[in-house]
Amino acid sequence: MSDADSPWLVVGLGNPGPDYAGNRHNVGFMVADLLAERMGGRFKAHKARAQVVEGRFGPPGPSGRRVVVAKPMSFMNLSGGPTTALRDFYKVPVANIVAVHDELDIDHGALRLKLGGGDNGHNGLKSITKSLGAEYHRVRFGIGRPPGRMPVADFVLKDFSSAERKELGYFVDRAADAVEALVLEGLERAQSTYNS
């Protein structure tokens, strides 16, 4: 199976359970939920300790791309295990893996798409890179820096502020568009449209 025929694996990073659902650290789950909704699918439990939806991006038929959207159920800092198990199960080349995650060094709501690179202290990326190497795609969703002296761990595990929540739906929608563009049009075209 050539890479062109291989499925894509889109991994939204977050922490499982209702206590974390609205946290900044869970934007990856929010984007994954929207992508699943767009594909008309429902998440199902997978033996890889993840929730998955299988479907297609793009037009129906052969020009659409097979995609597995996943939410690891292992907690953020152990995301590499489920991601690797899903890669093996679905036979996905590392270059067809997209991690969607929160990013402190980008302003709230801004997006950056890239291939490879460091983990910038993000425990979910650190875990995936340890398991797979660094050459997977990232859709980095800006959450900005914590105010004052608030510790980073407290900031990412807090819900978005009420002001941020007003625009959150728009930003999540745009991030989902960026993921689809990356899969269907390639990194450079998606970057030129969505990198802000």
Residue 11's H or E segment, with its range, is strand 8-12
Angle formed at CA 38 by CA 103 and CA 91, multiple of 5 degrees: 70
Catalytic residue, chosen from 25, 46, 101, 137, is 25
Phi/psi for 62 (5° steps) reads: -65, -20
**Where are the strands (E) in 27-143, listed by range?**
44-46, 50-57, 65-72, 97-103, 111-115, 137-142
Q: In what order do the strands lie in the sheet with 44-46?
A: 44-46, 50-57, 65-72, 8-12, 97-103, 137-142, 111-115
Which mean pLDDT values do the consecutive 10-residue runs of the chain (196 residues) have?
76 96 96 96 95 91 88 95 97 96 94 94 94 96 93 94 94 97 95 92
Q: What is the pTM of this model?
A: 0.95
Tell me: the pLDDT tens digits for 45-98?
Answer: 999 999 999 999 988 777 789 999 999 999 999 999 999 999 999 999 999 999
pLDDT at 4: 61
pLDDT at 107: 94
pLDDT at 196: 74
Residue 46 annotated to the active site: no
